């Protein structure tokens, strides 16, 4: 039996293409990004898109407001996978005034665009990334936003598995923690396989994440949550609350969530991603005044401040090392990297202190050297602060390839004829 020759992929909110880099590193013949969208509404210059377009040749490169792209345009892409790192926003919903029109999400919330694209394309798989606080937001109604998302996938006919991953715990160079969400359509072969397992089987061994991101085989006491999502998504938005843990599975509205512990792999230390000192321009080295500023910013402090309403309070901040340990992985990189900011990495090599270079920041995320060289240093730092760790996506690509090998999908008759005769 002939099987699918490739998986057409839609990459949403692509940035500089982290999902695509990771998937193509896993198997560039299997994963074909047919449409990648990157659009920054608040900027005239589209640096991330220009970087994306300069590094990839195939597929449609879209630099447009995704809300203006028609459903028909998405249907014509024949996509089997939708991927993307989307903004963490307020996912509350409400009943429409007329009632019969169903529910309405807040305008401008891009998750509803993901929902629309899934409705238009019915992909076999959906793979999304977000900050891990998504599981707990909003603070006044813990877990509501994530539950709205789970119910949306349920209503679209998908099973969902999620996992919070710290890249350094799986051998990579950055202590970057993000939640990844994998959804598989209910009628897919992998989805049907999951129905033969318990939730613990899925989360510890048989599901999407565990085979490539192993976890210890025990549940920490009192770190388990099970329940059923209400049928009415508006009820979820109005009243539902849950303390979701870092791993979980949802099928038909029934959710199981546990706290898993990784089987640690030795991380890549900072020193392994540094470029030779003779290649580092002088502009990245710190002057004495900047060193003094960093020593203050990274030191312990208690400062009296005054709030907007005149209330005085003490702002306290714990101390941290003046320089980053070269024998440990890097800390989470932020968009302010490379500025005189407490969160910026400061390394000391041969007695001199300096920022990480943009190239080294690319390495922290696993991108090829000079991937972002089309833009200014400031934007290179910014884009890497927003990017994901490519090595994580590469492993997920391996996992999808495994799934496809075990659950091949027949090619339509005329396409099979074409393959056999070429």
How would residue 108 be classed by pLDDT, with cut points 50, 70 and 90?
A: low
A 10 A CB-CB count for 87 gives 11
Region 146-169: mean pLDDT is: 97
Region 370-386: mean pLDDT is: 97
Region 79-102: mean pLDDT is: 78
What pLDDT does residue 7 have? 97
Region 376-400: mean pLDDT is: 97
How would residue 86 be classed by pLDDT, with cut points 50, 70 and 90?
A: confident
What pLDDT does residue 417 have? 34
Which H/E stretch holds residue 355?
strand 352-355
Region 399-409: mean pLDDT is: 91
> Which of 51, 88, 361, 383 is labelled catalytic?
88
CA distance readout (Å), 402 to 20, 270, 389 = 18, 32, 21
**DSSP assignment string, 53-102:** HHH--SSEEE-S-GGGS-HHHHHTT--SEEEEE-------EEE-TTSTT-
Is 50 exceeded by the pLDDT of residue 100?
Answer: no
Is 50 exceeded by the pLDDT of residue 288?
Answer: yes
Active site residue 88: yes
Nearest one of 337, 388, 336, 362 to 85, comparing CA atoms: 388
What pLDDT does residue 94 have? 80
In the CATH scheme, what is the code of domain 7-265+389-420? 3.40.50.150
What pLDDT does residue 4 have? 58
**Phi, psi (deg, nearest 5) at residue 34:** -95, -15
Is 80 exceeded by the pLDDT of residue 103?
Answer: no
> Angle of helix 47-55 relative to helix 377-386, nearest 10 degrees?
80
CA distance readout (Å), 420 to 2, 89, 110, 417 = 9, 48, 41, 5
Region 213-234: mean pLDDT is: 92
Is 50 exceeded by the pLDDT of residue 41?
Answer: yes
A 10 A CB-CB count for 306 gives 9
What pLDDT does residue 91 have? 78
Region 196-205: mean pLDDT is: 97
Domain boundaries, the chain: 7-265+389-420, 270-386
Is 60 exceeded by the pLDDT of residue 224?
Answer: yes
Is 90 exceeded by the pLDDT of residue 63?
Answer: yes
What pLDDT does residue 314 have? 85
Is 70 exceeded by the pLDDT of residue 98?
Answer: no
CB 283 within 8 A of CB 374: no
CB 357 within 8 A of CB 278: no
How would residue 99 be classed by pLDDT, with cut points 50, 70 and 90?
A: low
Number of residues written out for the chain: 422
Q: How far apart are the first and last CA of the chain?
A: 16
What's the CA gap between 296 and 287, in Å, rounded?
15
% of the chain at pLDDT higher than 70? 93
Region 35-40: mean pLDDT is: 95
Which H/E stretch holds residue 400?
helix 390-406
What's the CA gap between 338 and 358, in Å, rounded?
8
What pLDDT does residue 422 have? 40
In the CATH scheme, what is the code of domain 270-386? 3.90.120.10
Structure tokens at 303: 């400062």
% of the chain at pLDDT higher than 90? 81
Based on the number of CB atoms within 10 Å of its own CB, is 222 exposed (0-12), middle (13-18) or buried (19 or more)?
A: exposed
């Amino acid at each position: 039996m002939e099987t699918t020759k490739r998986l057409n992929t839609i990459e949403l909110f692509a940035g500089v293409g982290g999902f695509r880099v990771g998937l193509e590193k896993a198997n560039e013949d299997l994963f074909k990004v047919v449409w990648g969208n990157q659009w920054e509404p608040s900027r005239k210059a589209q640096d991330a898109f220009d970087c994306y377009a300069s590094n990839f040749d195939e597929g449609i490169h879209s630099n447009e407001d995704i809300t203006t792209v028609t459903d028909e345009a998405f249907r014509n892409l024949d996509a089997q996978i939708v991927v993307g790192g989307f903004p963490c926003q307020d996912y509350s919903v409400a009943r429409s005034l007329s009632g019969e029109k169903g529910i309405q999400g807040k305008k401008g919330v891009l998750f509803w665009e993901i929902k629309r694209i899934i409705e238009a394309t019915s992909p076999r798989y959906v793979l999304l990334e977000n900050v891990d606080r998504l599981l707990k937001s909003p603070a006044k109604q813990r877990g509501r936003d994530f539950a709205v998302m789970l119910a949306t996938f349920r209503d679209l006919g998908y099973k969902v598995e999620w996992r919070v991953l710290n890249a350094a715990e799986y051998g990579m160079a950055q202590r970057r923690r993000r939640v990844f969400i994998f959804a598989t359509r209910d009628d897919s072969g992998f989805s049907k396989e999951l129905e033969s397992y318990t939730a613990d089987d899925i989360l510890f061994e048989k599901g999407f994440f565990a085979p490539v991101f192993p976890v210890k085989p025990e549940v920490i006491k009192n770190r388990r949550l099970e329940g059923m999502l209400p049928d009415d998504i508006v009820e979820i938005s109005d009243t539902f609350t849950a303390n979701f843990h870092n791993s979980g599975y949802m099928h038909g509205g029934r959710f199981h969530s546990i706290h898993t512990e990784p089987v640690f792999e030795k991380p890549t230390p900072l020193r392994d991603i540094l470029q030779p000192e003779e290649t580092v321009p002088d502009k990245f080295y710190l002057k004495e005044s900047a060193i003094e500023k960093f020593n203050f910013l990274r030191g312990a402090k208690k400062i009296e401040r005054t709030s907007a309403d005149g209330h005085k309070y003490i702002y306290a901040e714990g101390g941290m090392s003046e320089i980053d340990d070269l024998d440990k992985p890097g800390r989470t990189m932020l968009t302010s990297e490379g500025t005189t900011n407490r969160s910026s990495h400061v390394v000391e090599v041969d007695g001199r202190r300096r920022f990480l270079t943009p190239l080294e920041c690319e390495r922290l995320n696993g991108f090829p050297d000079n991937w972002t060289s089309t833009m200014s240093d400031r934007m290179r730092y910014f884009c890497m602060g927003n990017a994901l760790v490519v090595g994580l996506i590469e492993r997920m690509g391996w996992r999808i390839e495994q799934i496809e090998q075990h659950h091949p999908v027949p090619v339509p008759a005329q396409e099979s004829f074409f393959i056999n005769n070429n």
